[in-house]
Amino acid sequence: MTRLHLVVGPGRVGEFLQIFRTGVGVAVRTGCRLKDLLCGQFGLDESYVERRITTIFLDGRPVDAVGSERVREGSTLALSAAMPGLAGAILRRDGALAPLRANLERGDGEKSEAPERDGVITVKLFNLLAPELAPGFLRRGVLLSAAAAGGFFRRRPTAFRDGCREILLDGKRVEAAVLEGGGWALPGDPVALSVDVREA
């Protein structure tokens, strides 16, 4: 595994939001209930989960009851604030139009129970939740494929290089040009990326 740690200026965190739309790997204790993952492991306030995270998809299906769904190894968790239009109203947790998506509900609740263990899930963040939650995940550390990480850094503008305070690649300090040039992570080797923000 390649370990990459960046220290960037406050204005540069937004550069990383796009990786959360396609999904990042996050090391967690799997087998727990979704509410325990969000509030316990991710450290989110219960009121934030109830009021701000209005749409949740777990393994492609909408979730209303975060206290009953369990997170499994390899699960994909997508979080969103309120989405506009009819689709947003139908997918909203416990919304008045939730019965219209009855055919999307999970049908394997009992089968999803499994003992807790260390694992990795994919987390996706959308709309207003991305800038609110991404910094915490970046501090915690996320996992990317070598291809995704290499592609991301190759596409960074010059301003990104100027906003980097420090870059540590497997514990050794390197310049931003190294990341932009590619070839720093072996194909098939996951990249553990963490990002801290430092004022100038």
Does 56 have pLDDT greater than 60? Answer: yes
Is pLDDT at 83 greater than 60 in this prediction? no
Q: Is the pLDDT of residue 126 over 60?
A: yes
- Compute the distance between CA of residue 57 and CA of residue 80 in angstroms, rounded to an integer: 9
Mean pLDDT of the chain: 85
Q: pLDDT band at 113, cuts 50/70/90?
A: low
Q: Residue 29 half-sphere exposure, CB side, CA atoms within 13 Å?
A: 13
Classified as helix, coil or strand, 27 is strand
Question: What is the H or E stretch that residue 130 is in?
Answer: helix 129-140
Q: In what order do the strands lie in the sheet with 76-80?
A: 61-62, 55-58, 76-80, 117-126, 24-30, 142-144, 191-197, 2-8, 164-169, 172-173
Whether the per-residue pLDDT at 5 is higher than 70: the answer is yes
Asked if 33 contacts 77 with a C-beta cutoff of 8 angstroms, the reply is: no
- What pLDDT digit, counting tens, does each position of 134-174 carry? 999 999 999 999 999 999 998 888 888 888 899 999 999 99
Q: pTM for the full model?
A: 0.82
